[in-house]
Amino acid sequence: MTYKYKKSIFAMSFIALLSFPFLAIAVALPGKPAPDFTETDASGMQHSLSDYQDQWLVIEWFNKDCPYVRKHYGSGNMQALQKKYTENEVKWLTVISSVEGKQGYFEPNEALIEAKAHNLNASSPFLLDIDGSMGKAYGAKTTPHMFIINPQGQVVYAGAIDDNDSANPAVIESSMNYVSAALDEAMAGKEVTVASSRAYGCSVKY
């Protein structure tokens, strides 16, 4: 194989890695303890992992300008998921790790307006991860990127919301929802069939 040919293959591989949607494997791995965090939400309330001891917790990464986030929020799919499980005593945190000056960044008052627009104030507070420390600890690479933590503080699921990486909301109905399936199985004391998947969406804007 010639040097020129090798160089061409490397260039094509690099471009493929940057292709949209961005795909990644989570750092917070199923079966391992969830990374600790302490972050402040848009209303000024502080949240730490220890606050959710003995409770089920879903953590979701969010960017309002990402078409994959709009897929699930514009269709009402994410809100329906949040409502179903928060009504069953599952806690839910929505994290914004976009840094100032980049897509998806919010000042606290802007985040409150966005949360109100999505009716998330009570069920899914926006955590403002302004330095990206929480996102990097979890290995959050995309929006959305989903993590489920059990009452013992272990990650039981990490990855995509479902199995269809199209940005078209029309595919939601026929998609396999990994988050819902993992919660139903884990909360019933069963082994999670799909405990990890490749997250799809827009890259988190660290």
Query: Which whole-number Å values give the CA distances from 121 to 18, 22, 43, 176, in the listed order?
Result: 35, 29, 9, 27
Mean pLDDT of 14-26: 43
Mean pLDDT of 14-30: 54
Q: Is residue 7 part of a domain?
A: no
Q: Is residue 64 part of a domain?
A: yes
State the sign of the Cα–Cα–Cα–Cα dihedral 200, 159, 181, 75. negative
Burial class (CB in 10 A: 0-12, 13-18, 19+), 175: middle
CA 90/CA 78 separation, integer angstroms: 14
Q: Is residue 13 part of a domain?
A: no
Residue 135 has pLDDT above 50, yes or no: yes
Model pLDDT, residue 27: 76
Residue 136 has pLDDT above 80, yes or no: yes
Full domain range(s) for residue 124: 22-203
Q: Is residue 47 part of a domain?
A: yes
Model pLDDT, residue 132: 95
In this structure, what CATH number is given to the domain that contains residue 189?
A: 3.40.30.10
Mean pLDDT of 123-144: 94
Summarised one tens digit per residue, pLDDT across range 93-111 is: 999 999 999 998 888 888 8
Model pLDDT, residue 122: 56
Q: Is residue 15 part of a domain?
A: no
Summarised one tens digit per residue, pLDDT across range 162-182 is: 999 999 999 999 999 999 999
Counting the structural domains of the chain, the total is 1
Q: What is the pTM of this model?
A: 0.84
Q: Is residue 5 part of a domain?
A: no
Amino acid at 74: G
Summarised one tens digit per residue, pLDDT across range 137-163 is: 999 999 999 999 999 999 999 999 999
Burial class (CB in 10 A: 0-12, 13-18, 19+), 129: buried
Whole-number mean pLDDT of the chain?
Answer: 87
Model pLDDT, residue 196: 97
CA 56/CA 31 separation, integer angstroms: 15
Query: Which whole-number Å values give the CA distances from 179 to 152, 187, 197, in the listed order?
Result: 18, 12, 10
Q: Is residue 131 part of a domain?
A: yes
Model pLDDT, residue 119: 59
Q: Is residue 164 part of a domain?
A: yes
